[in-house]
Amino acid sequence: MKAVLSILSGVLLPLALPNDYFLYGNPWIGTICLVPVFFALYQTRSLKEGMGLTALFGGISTFLSNYWLMYFKDYAFLTIGSVTLAYCGVYAVWGGFFWRFSRPHPYRPLYMAAIWTLFEFFKSIGYLAYPWGLIVYPFNELLPILQIADLGGIWPLSFLFAFGNSFVAELMIGNSNQDLIRAPRYGICLIATILLYVGYGYYRMGTPIPETSRIRVVLVQQNMDPWEMGKEIENLRTLLELSRKGIQQLNGMVDLVVWSESSLPRPIQENRQYYQRVPPEESFLSFLKQWKSYFLIGNPVVRRTQDRKEVQNGVVLLDSTGMILDTYGKRHPVPMAEHVPFYEIPLVQAFFTKVIGLGGIWALGDKDTIFRIKDAGGKEIRFGAPICFEDAFPYLCRRFILAGADLLINITNDAWSRRMSAQVQHFVVARFRSIEMKRTLIRATNGGVTCVIGPFGEVIASLPMFQKEVLSIEVPIQKESTSTFYTKWGDWFPLLLFGLLLVTLLREKKTFGEIQSL
């Protein structure tokens, strides 16, 4: 029965997250999706059983919510297979902590919410981080309650929604007068927290953020996968046609044209002659000269040292002459797919090339570039350009803002996933960066979601997914006189929880299992 409950949660969580049935997620399911697995843990009698239940839950939920990873080139085993297996192990290890804090205790619902928040936090940092499938994402459209993220990131929200689930599980298992006495207290605490978050959210959204300037941008969504062989010139023609259309929609008065990740597979800096003649009817460099605009383009960045050449998954900023003004190389590539540790070791390289079929890897980016352009009035506009799923990492986006970026411009290639739900999952993750730092986020993708997100997480404009289209828009740049509390202090909330739980463990003279016999 307990295994069935874990499986049920393993299905409910993916149903709550953005999926093919509920494209932007289902918050109602989100309020109960963890209840079955928490209820099962409350009834376990051994550490081994608790670890097994969480591993079962984690494996099923990971596979069902990320099934689109199987379309990542020809590496289905490496992507969806390895991710699922890896997170079975991750959930099993954390299952020990979940079991430890699921023992009968007056504060068990709060402990379970805290340990779930810490699990999601540690799951979302480091080289192997994968901040998908978090409990906050089903609630991504409830903007007033989400504004608390500018104080503590998404972690106070993780705590709230996990607390709601653990509270319901506690109600289901309550079988004593003590449980009946404590239940109203937890209910009041939960309702008070929700009201506090919502109240702060409405106050925050009712406080205007000053507009410092505007930028006229053209976001090109070519709806073509740059990885498809033999379509390089066709893809470039489409990019040029859509760019021309977008520039004309703004009467030629455009500050910046943005192309998605890997739009041009050949490094511009090493292939200028090629781009001077391709496409033959009107070359890429000839096209640039027609417009007084900057172009931000997904393009490999080459770094040369004395002994070798490194190529980064990058973005380049060009002026109308085709001169490269600045570059940024992706600093957090997809682990074990875009980048492999110790790849220079022959044995490691042979395994990934001959067994897995990996054609090569990207080198790690080496700097946090702040791009600078001037608008029509001569005012300087600064921005960071996180690539692909880098907009899922708060610490990385914080660095751009702390370094002086006025806004963020993300370029992404998600077209390979072939599913709208995959595009929306990425969009949902990204919109929290706007809320946390109260800055505009522009997303230029080749399949979706191409959009402009305001500082409260609101969608200012967007394009339909998987269509060849262009978004021409004048984007307001809004900026407060001081950075948000979260921008300044980062992930203080989970660190506080970690400290409180550690103090609790040290002060306990008896284990939770000894407090009340099972």
What is the tens place of the pLDDT at every residue in 142-169? 999 999 999 999 999 999 999 999 999 9
pLDDT of residue 281: 92
Q: How far apart are CA 386 and CA 315, in angstroms?
A: 9
Q: Which residues are catalytic?
A: 261, 330, 388
Give bridge partners of residue 317 from the DSSP assignment. Answer: 296, 326
DSSP 510: S
**39 three-state secondary structure:** helix
Ordered by start, the domain boundaries in the chain are 2-206+490-515, 211-331+366-479
Helix intervals (H) in 66-148: 76, 82-101, 108-123, 143-146
Averaged pLDDT of the chain: 89
Whether the predicted pLDDT of 177 surpasses 50? no
pLDDT of residue 75: 58
Per-residue pLDDT tens for 418-457?
Answer: 889 999 999 999 999 999 999 999 999 999 899 999 999 9
Band the pLDDT of 341: cuts 50, 70, 90.
confident
Sheet holding 407-412, edge to edge: 371-374, 380-384, 407-412, 441-445, 451-453, 459-462
Per-residue pLDDT tens for 283-332?
Answer: 999 999 999 899 999 999 998 877 778 889 999 999 999 999 999 999 98
Residue 238 contacts by C-beta under 8 Å, 6 or more apart in sequence?
Answer: 222, 224, 468
Whether the predicted pLDDT of 517 surpasses 50? no
As a whole number, mean pLDDT of residues 335-340 equals 74
Q: How far apart are CA 135 and CA 118, in angstroms?
A: 12
pLDDT of residue 179: 52
As a whole number, mean pLDDT of residues 337-364 equals 74
| Amino acid at position 125, single letter | I
Per-residue pLDDT tens for 431-442?
Answer: 999 999 999 999
The CATH number of the domain covering residues in 211-331+366-479? 3.60.110.10
DSSP track, 263-316: SS-S-GGG-HHHHHHSSTTS-HHHHHTTSS-EEEEE--EEEE-SS-EEEE-EEE
